[in-house]
Amino acid sequence: MEWSPHDAMKAYLQTLELCKEQSKENTSHGASTSAIEPKCPEFVSALAAGKQARLIVEISSEGITPLTIALSVAAKHSGGRLVCIISHQEGQQKKNTTHSPDHDFEDVIEVVYGNDPEGMIMQYKNIDFAVIDGKLEFHPKFLERISVNPRGSIIVRHNLHCREHGVMSVGDYVCNANKGVECVTLPIGEGMELTRIGPLTKRDYTRGPRYKRFHVTFEN
């Protein structure tokens, strides 16, 4: 699908407003700052909405977070849906501390709990936009099971600073099976990695994905 700057802008602004409201609410209750840096949700929401992602999958180690809500906003604007996969153990631990889906987004978000998130992701085909929490020790296994959309897909991994030394990037894993994948790391939040897999043509199915230039500009 073509990039939609209009949807990206609307998702960014709505997420920004929600983050401000949440920040005020936390302050009024004496709560600490959110687990996700404010600039991170807006950026990811705009990226997913601008891509017009119809199937967004998030794999979270912290239950429902501001980033989950941001992805819900993106799904709302793109006419898609969000699947948030949370391991059963993590879900039980974070049950009383995480955010709840806003009623405005209940129709676009599906929260799934289970003991095998690696296996659960295999149920979803042609994923347009995937978000993986770098805090998960077993996250590399996800990459062997993710079914990306052959027309193009983006994989986001955040909390990079929490990863163990020597762990390969998403781009490294994907590039082992697909040539021409573009990957970039950004100083957003606790570190964020974006991997873009370009669309496949009929010829690409035998030769591998066509190279697509992925240009990212980061301004302080």
Q: Using alpha carbons only, what angle is made at residue 96 by residues 93 and 97, rounded to the nearest 5 degrees?
A: 90
* pLDDT one-digit tens code per residue, 50-83: 999 999 999 888 888 889 999 999 999 999 999 9
pTM of the predicted protein model: 0.78
Residue 218 has pLDDT above 60, yes or no: no
Domain ranges of the chain: 5-157
Helix (H, G, I), strand (E, B) or coil at 136: coil
Q: In the structure, what pLDDT confidence band is assigned to residue 31 with cuts at 50, 70 and 90? A: low
Which candidate, 60, 62, 39, 43, places its Cα nearest to that of 51? 43
- Termini Cα distance of the chain: 29
Q: Which CATH fold would you assign to the domain 5-157?
A: Rossmann fold (3.40.50)
* Radius of gyration in angstroms for the set of CA atoms belonging to the chain, rounded to a whole number: 17
Q: In the structure, what pLDDT confidence band is assigned to residue 217 with cuts at 50, 70 and 90? A: very low
Residue 119 has pLDDT above 60, yes or no: yes
pLDDT of residue 209: 44
Q: In the structure, what pLDDT confidence band is assigned to residue 215 with cuts at 50, 70 and 90? A: very low
* pLDDT one-digit tens code per residue, 130-144: 998 888 765 566 677
